[in-house]
Structure 1
Amino acid sequence: MHIMPSSVVNSYIYFPETEILRIIYQSGRIYDYLKVPATIAEKFREARSKGRFLNSIIKPGFKYLKIS
């Protein structure tokens, strides 16, 4: 699990075997973004602004499941 200072993202976990990017929001909500390639997960990890990357690349490009 990666924890970082962000006003939107509390932490995240990437599961390469299933290509799931799990985002834990500051609100406590948890979402799994599906079929996220490792290259995108790596770019997310490197992104200076996790919230901006999430809103511009992850949310519009990948289906998701609300976990809690």
Structure 2
Amino acid sequence: MERTRVKSSTVLSVGYDPLEQVLVVEFKRGSLYHYLGVPVSDFENLMAAPSKGRFLHYRIKPRYQYRRVR
């Protein structure tokens, strides 16, 4: 899946699969996470958020199952 680099102190890149509703987040420390069942609206809100890390912490992590891929 293609990911887009973002301006963030903690997040390196973000990708999204609309068919599977999987949000992919690569962190600057090297870890890669898949967040499952994320609607496109939350992906769009993440990409528009002034703080990607804060949005992930408060809006994505508490709401969706996730797994560390790397």
Could you state the TM-score of these two structures normalised by the residue count of structure 2?
A: 0.93
**Of the candidates 15, 31, 34, which is equivalent to residue 32 of structure 1?**
34
* Structure 2 equivalent of residue 45 of structure 1: 47
Moved over 3 A (4+): none
3-state secondary structure, aligned to 2:23 = strand
Structure with the higher helix share, 1 or 2: 1
* Structure 2 equivalent of residue 2 of structure 1: 4
* Alpha-carbon separation, structure 2, partners of 1:64 and 1:4: 20
Q: What amino acid is aligned across from residue 64 of structure 2 in structure 1? A: F
* Alpha-carbon separation, structure 2, partners of 1:45 and 1:12: 8
* Alpha-carbon separation, structure 1, partners of 2:27 and 2:10: 6
The number of residues matched between the two structures is 68
* Structure 2 equivalent of residue 14 of structure 1: 16
Displacement after TM superposition at 1:40 (Å) = 0.6
Q: Structure 2: state its 5+ residue gaps.
A: none
Q: What amino acid is aligned across from residue 13 of structure 2 in structure 1? A: S
